[in-house]
A and B are shown apart, each in its own frame.
Chain A
Amino acid sequence: MIAWTPAARQELRRHAERTRHTIEAAGADPAEVLEDLERHLAQEATAAGLAAMTEEDVRRFLARLGPPPASPDGRADPGVVTPLPDSRPAPAPSAWLAVGGVLLPLITLAAELITGMCAATFLDPLGTWWHVLLVGCVPLANGLALHALRTGRLQDRRWLGWATGLAFGITLFYSILFTPLALPGLLAVIFYGFGLLPLTPLIALVCTVFIAGALRRWGTEGTRVSPPLAGYWRGAALAWLALVILEAPIWITRASLALAVSDDAREQQRGLAWLRWLGREDTLLRECYGRTRGTESLDLVYWLASGGRSVSSDQAREIYYRVTGRPFNAVPAPKVRSARGVFAELNEWTWDADQGGERVGGRLRDLALHSSRLDAVVEPDAALAYLEWTIEFRNSSRIQREARAQIQLPAGGVVSRLTLWVNGEEREAAFAGRAQTRQAYQQVAIRQRRDPVLVTTSGPDRILMQCFPVPPDGGVMRVRIGITAPLSLSSLAAGELAWPRFLERNFNIPEPLRHTLWVETKGRLEALSSTLHTEQPKPGVTAVRGLVRDPELSSRTTLVRVHRDPVVRRVWSTDARSSNAGFVQGTLVETQASIPARLVLVVDGSREMRPHLQTIATALAALPEGLELAVIVAADEPVTLAAPASRNADDLAALRRRLAQMSARGGQDNLPALMTAWDLAAQRPGGAILWVHATQPVLLSSAEPLRQAYERRRDGPRIIEFQVATGPNRILEQLDGVDAIQTLSARENLADELTRLFKAWQAEGREVRLTFEHLDASPAADDQTREASAHLVRLWAAEQVRWLQAARRADDAIALAASHQLVTPLSGAVVLETAQQYAQHGLTPADPTTVPAIPEPGTRTLLALGLAALLLRPRQRAG
C-alpha cells in the first residue's frame, strides 16, 4: 500500500478544487472523480516502484493525466479530446545506446569466451561461470530497458530499475579493473583502428548510465520533475555484493600473502593466521607458479589490497608450505592461464623458472612419465643389489621441457651408472666433480639446447635427476639410472630389497601408468605381499615381478625378502680402479644395537603430523626403562615439551598424553628445534636425536649452524630421522655428506618402525652391518668366504668418498668417485650428446665395457668375453 504524505493529499485536493466546476458541468460527481483519481495515482506509484507518494509525485502523475473534461458551454474543449498525437511512441533512445550498452558487451563477452584473449595476455575477467553470468547481465539488462523505452511498457519499470542498477554495478567494477588498459586501448583505436574491447566496460558503463537516466525521466516529459529510479541503487549494490562474494577470497588471500612476506614478524604471523583461516589454496598455488608481472600490475584490486607489495613465486612457495604443511608441487599444477580456442597455446607460456637449476620446482602440466621399468639383480652372499631404473618422459606441450625429479635411493645406495638414449643409441655418462658436471649440463642443455642428462646427490640417499630437452609435441626422452645398494639385513639369514622412488617431481604420473618391477637372484627371493609374484624363470634362478602404482613403490607391499646363507660372512672382489689396486673385502658383523645415552625426540608440529601424534605417543611406551628422554616440538617457536630426564612410568604416561594432545598446524621450521635438540643431545656422549617429521619442502632458515656443528664435532649426536610422507626434505639436502644421519625406512608404518627401533634398544637388540676393508691380496678361501661382483668395490668406494670428504680431501674423494663411476655429494654424472661436448668440458664418458649391467658379468665372465672377442677378431677380418 502506498503511503501518502500530507502534502501529497493536499496537492490532490487542490487539483480537485481547481477542476470541480468543469467536472460538475460535465455531469460527473466531483467526489467520485477525486476518489478515482486517488486510486489511479496509487496504481501509477505502485507500477513505478514508489514506496511513498509525495507532492512532487502527485504533480507529475496529474501532469501525465491531462486536463479535465469539456467546458460548460458545450463547445469542444481541446483539452477533452486532444489532437491526435504523433503516431510514434515516446522519443526513442539513441541507437548508440544499443550499440554501446548491448551489442559491444555481447561481442566482447563472446570473443573472450571463445578465445580467452584477455585471460591469455592480461587477466582473466571471466574466472568462473558466475562471472560470465554477471557480465551477461549487462547486455540483457540494457537490452530489456531499451526495449521497454521503445514500447512504452511503464509497468515494468521497477524491475528495469533493478536490472539497470545491476548492469551499472558490474560495468563500474570492470571499468575499474580495466582502467590501466583503457588509455592504451583508446590510443590503439585512434591510431590503428582496433583495441575497442578493453574499452567495452567503460563504454557500457556510460551507456548504462544514459539508459538509467532515460528510464528515470520516462513519463515526465514536459515537466521539471526527475524522480529516482526505483531499485537502481539496490541493483548496483547487489552487483557489488555478488562480485565481492566471488572475489573476496582471492583478495583476502593476496592481501594476507603480502602480509605474510612482510619484514615485520608480527605482520607475518597475522598474514599466516589469516591465510590458515580464510586463505584460498588455489590462489596461493597460482602464486607459487608465478603470475606474469603484467597480470599483477594490471589487477588494480589486487594492487590496492596488497598495498603494492609483490610476492615472488619463491616467497609464495614458502608461504604455501607454512600455511598448508605440504609442498606446492605435491599437488597437480593449477591452470595458471585460461585462454581458449586459438589462443589456448598461450596457456603454455608458463615459465619454468627452475629449468637448469638445482630444484625440482613446479609441476609442468604437459610433461608426464611415459614408462617406468625397474630391473634388479641381487647378490645374497654380498647382501647387495644392483638396480636399473629405465624411465621415459613424454612432453605433449608445444615447447621443450626439462624433466626433474628427486629420487630416494635404497638406504646406503649409490648411483653407479647413467645413460641416455640419443637418436636411438644408449650413451654412457661421464663421472666427474659435481660442479664440473653441472656446468657441462647447463651449457649443453640450457644454452645449446641439446640432449644431456645430469644426476647429482640431493641429501643422504637422495639424488636429483634432470634431463633436457624432452621434445615437444609428444616427444619422448629415455634415461636409465643404475644403482648399487646394500640390502637391509634383519639377520645374517635374511635381508630386504627396497626400490628407489620419486620424492619430488615436476612431471605428472598418469593414473594408468604402472612401474614394472623385475628382480632375480641365484638364491631365494620372497615377495612380502600379493602385489608381486615369485617365479622361477630358469633353473637355479628365482625372480619376483609385478606391476605397481607409483605410491606403492613407497609402501612395504613392494619390499622383496632375500634369503641368504648365514654361514657366509665374508665376501671379496677385485679392485682394479683405485690408484692402489687390490681387493675389497666385506664382512658381515652382528653387533649389539647402539643405545643412546640420552634421546632427544624432535616432533614436527606441522599440520601433516596431526594423524601421527597419537602414534608417536603410543610408541614411546616401548622405550627402554631408565632412558634419559627430552621432547621438543617444532612449532612457530621450538617448544620443550619435556626437559632431559629419566622418567618413570607415570611421568612417561603424562608426557605421552601431552604429546598426543599437541596442536599441529601449517608447515613448521624444524631447524631451530633440531639445533636445540643437538645442544641437548651433545651434552651427553652417545646422545641421539630422533626426528619424526613431515616433508620439509622449504628451507625456512639456514641449516649452516647445524652443519657447522657436525663439521666441528664429528662425534656429534646421530640423527635418526623418519619422514611420515613421501616428499622433499630441504634440511636433509643441506646436510648432504653428514655421516651422523640415519634414515628409518619410510616403508614401514610409523608405529612399527618406532616400536622396532625402541625394542632394538632393549638388552637383546642386535643389528647386522657390512663393513669394508681394502686388502693387497685376495682373502683366503674358506666356507665363510665368497667372491662377489664389482658392486662390492663400488659400495666400498662410496664409503671411502664419504670418509675423504669428512677428512677435507675433496680432490681425492672426487678422483675416487670418478674412477669408480659413482655419484656422491662431491661428484655427479652427466650424459652429453657428442664427443666434442665431452672434450669441451674436460669429461670422459664411461667405457661401456666397464659399466655395470644386469646381470652383472663376473670377473671370469668378462675375461671369457674378452678372450672370445680376441679369438673372433681374426676370423671377422678374414671374412
Chain B
Amino acid sequence: MNDYFDNWTVQVRKGLLDLCVLRALADRERYGYELVKHLVDLPGLGVTEGTLYPLLSRLRLQGVVSTRLEESPEGPARKYYALTTDGRTVLALMQDYMDQLNAGAGMLRRRQTGGRS
C-alpha cells in the first residue's frame, strides 16, 4: 500500500514541479543558487538540487524563463532567472487549470462528506 502511495506522490510532485518553479519566479527574479535552495526547502515537494538545474535549462530553452549573469562581491557570478512574457502566460494557464482541478476535487470531497453526514 505504501509503494502505491509513494508512486502516486512522485507523479503528483513531478507534475507540479514546473508550476512551482514558475510560481517562485512570479514575484521577482532569483539567482540560481537562491532559487534552488528556496525550492529544495519547500515542504512536500521533495526535489533534489541536482534535478533543478536541468529543469531550469529546459525552461530557458522552451522560452518560459530568461537568464542573465551578474558579478557578485560575495562569490561567483550569479545567474538570475526571470519569467518571460510566455512564461507568465503559461503560469496563468497552469494556475487556472490547478484552480479548476482543486475545485473539482474539492466538490467531490464535499459531496462525499455531505453524504456521510
* Chain A interface residues toward B at CB < 8 A: 1-2, 22-23, 26-29, 32-33, 35-40, 42-43, 46, 62, 64-70, 76, 78-85, 87
Residues from chain B with Cβ under 8 Å of A85 in the complex: 46
A81-B54 contact given A40-B49, A64-B49, CB 8 Å threshold: no
- A593 to B32 CA separation, bound complex (whole angstroms): 104
B63 to chain A, nearest CB (A): 12
- Quick check: which of B2-10, B85-93, B96-104, B105-113 contacts chain A, the rest being far away? B2-10
Residues from chain B with Cβ under 8 Å of A42 in the complex: 75-76
**Cβ of B38 under 8 Å from chain A:** no
Residue of A nearest to B3 (CB): A83
**Cβ of B26 under 8 Å from chain A:** no
A51 to chain B, nearest CB (A): 12
- A66 to B62 CA separation, bound complex (whole angstroms): 24
Contact digits for B61-84, partner A, Cβ 8 Å, 1 yes 0 no: 110000000000011111100000
Q: Are A83 and B51 in contact (CB under 8 A)?
A: no
The residue from B55, B58, B75, B77 contacting A2, defined by CB atoms under 8 A apart: B75
Chain A to chain B contacts (Cβ below 8 Å), 10 pairs: A39-B32, A39-B78, A42-B76, A66-B49, A66-B50, A67-B51, A68-B51, A76-B14, A81-B10, A83-B9
Residue of A nearest to B34 (CB): A43
**Cβ of B30 under 8 Å from chain A:** no
- Interface size class of chain B, counting residues whose CB lies under 8 Å from the partner chain: 20 to 34
Q: Are A83 and B10 in contact (CB under 8 A)?
A: yes
Residues from chain A with Cβ under 8 Å of B47 in the complex: 81-82
Q: Are B10 and A76 in contact (CB under 8 A)?
A: yes
**Cβ of B25 under 8 Å from chain A:** no
**Cβ of B13 under 8 Å from chain A:** yes
Residue of B nearest to A76 (CB): B10
Residues from chain A with Cβ under 8 Å of B62 in the complex: 27
Q: Are A40 and B53 in contact (CB under 8 A)?
A: yes
**Cβ of B94 under 8 Å from chain A:** no
B13 to chain A, nearest CB (A): 5
Residue of A nearest to B55 (CB): A69
Residues from chain A with Cβ under 8 Å of B9 in the complex: 83-84
**Cβ of B17 under 8 Å from chain A:** yes
Q: Are B50 and A67 in contact (CB under 8 A)?
A: yes
Residues from chain B with Cβ under 8 Å of A2 in the complex: 75-76
**Cβ of B117 under 8 Å from chain A:** no
The residue from A23, A29, A82, A87 contacting B48, defined by CB atoms under 8 A apart: A82
- A76 to B46 CA separation, bound complex (whole angstroms): 14
Residue of B nearest to A70 (CB): B14
The residue from B14, B33, B43 contacting A43, defined by CB atoms under 8 A apart: B33
- A37 to B57 CA separation, bound complex (whole angstroms): 11
Residues from chain A with Cβ under 8 Å of B77 in the complex: 39
Q: Are B76 and A29 in contact (CB under 8 A)?
A: no
Residue of B nearest to A69 (CB): B54
A33-B10 contact given A42-B76, A83-B46, CB 8 Å threshold: no
A421 to chain B, nearest CB (A): 81
Q: Are A81 and B17 in contact (CB under 8 A)?
A: yes
Q: Which of A2, A23, A65 has the most CB of B within 10 A?
A: A65
- A36 to B56 CA separation, bound complex (whole angstroms): 10
Q: Are A68 and B75 in contact (CB under 8 A)?
A: no
Residue of A nearest to B15 (CB): A81
**Cβ of B36 under 8 Å from chain A:** yes
Q: Are A36 and B61 in contact (CB under 8 A)?
A: no
Residue of A nearest to B40 (CB): A66
- A83 to B9 CA separation, bound complex (whole angstroms): 8
Q: Are A39 and B76 in contact (CB under 8 A)?
A: yes
A28-B46 contact given A40-B36, A83-B10, CB 8 Å threshold: no
Residues from chain A with Cβ under 8 Å of B44 in the complex: 84
Q: Are A29 and B61 in contact (CB under 8 A)?
A: yes
**Cβ of B60 under 8 Å from chain A:** yes
The residue from A28, A62, A79, A80 contacting B61, defined by CB atoms under 8 A apart: A28
- A35 to B76 CA separation, bound complex (whole angstroms): 11
A27-B58 contact given A2-B75, A40-B36, CB 8 Å threshold: yes
A78-B10 contact given A37-B53, A40-B53, CB 8 Å threshold: yes
Q: Are B61 and A69 in contact (CB under 8 A)?
A: no
The residue from A33, A36, A37, A81 contacting B14, defined by CB atoms under 8 A apart: A81
Residues from chain B with Cβ under 8 Å of A22 in the complex: 54
The residue from A35, A43, A76, A84 contacting B75, defined by CB atoms under 8 A apart: A43
Residues from chain A with Cβ under 8 Å of B75 in the complex: 1-2, 42-43, 46
A219 to chain B, nearest CB (A): 12
Q: Are B46 and A39 in contact (CB under 8 A)?
A: no
Residues from chain B with Cβ under 8 Å of A38 in the complex: 76
B73 to chain A, nearest CB (A): 10
Residues from chain B with Cβ under 8 Å of A35 in the complex: 79
Given A39-B78, A40-B49, output 19 extra A-B contacts at Cβ < 8 Å: A2-B75, A28-B56, A28-B57, A29-B60, A35-B79, A36-B56, A39-B76, A40-B36, A42-B75, A62-B50, A65-B48, A68-B54, A69-B54, A76-B7, A78-B10, A81-B13, A83-B46, A84-B6, A87-B43
Residues from chain B with Cβ under 8 Å of A80 in the complex: 14, 51
Residues from chain A with Cβ under 8 Å of B32 in the complex: 36, 39-40
Residues from chain A with Cβ under 8 Å of B7 in the complex: 76
A81-B46 contact given A2-B76, A39-B79, A40-B33, CB 8 Å threshold: yes
Top 7 A-B pairs ranked by shortest CB distance? A66-B48, A28-B57, A28-B54, A65-B50, A66-B50, A42-B76, A46-B75
Q: Are A1 and B76 in contact (CB under 8 A)?
A: yes
Q: Are B50 and A36 in contact (CB under 8 A)?
A: no
Q: Are B48 and A33 in contact (CB under 8 A)?
A: no
- A39 to B53 CA separation, bound complex (whole angstroms): 11
- A83 to B46 CA separation, bound complex (whole angstroms): 7
A82-B46 contact given A1-B76, A39-B33, A43-B33, CB 8 Å threshold: yes
The residue from B36, B51, B58 contacting A81, defined by CB atoms under 8 A apart: B51
- A67 to B47 CA separation, bound complex (whole angstroms): 10
Residues from chain B with Cβ under 8 Å of A1 in the complex: 75-76
Residue of B nearest to A84 (CB): B46
Q: Are A33 and B46 in contact (CB under 8 A)?
A: no
Residues from chain B with Cβ under 8 Å of A82 in the complex: 46-48
Q: Are A33 and B76 in contact (CB under 8 A)?
A: no
Q: Are B57 and A36 in contact (CB under 8 A)?
A: yes
B37 to chain A, nearest CB (A): 9
A33-B51 contact given A43-B33, A43-B75, A76-B10, CB 8 Å threshold: no
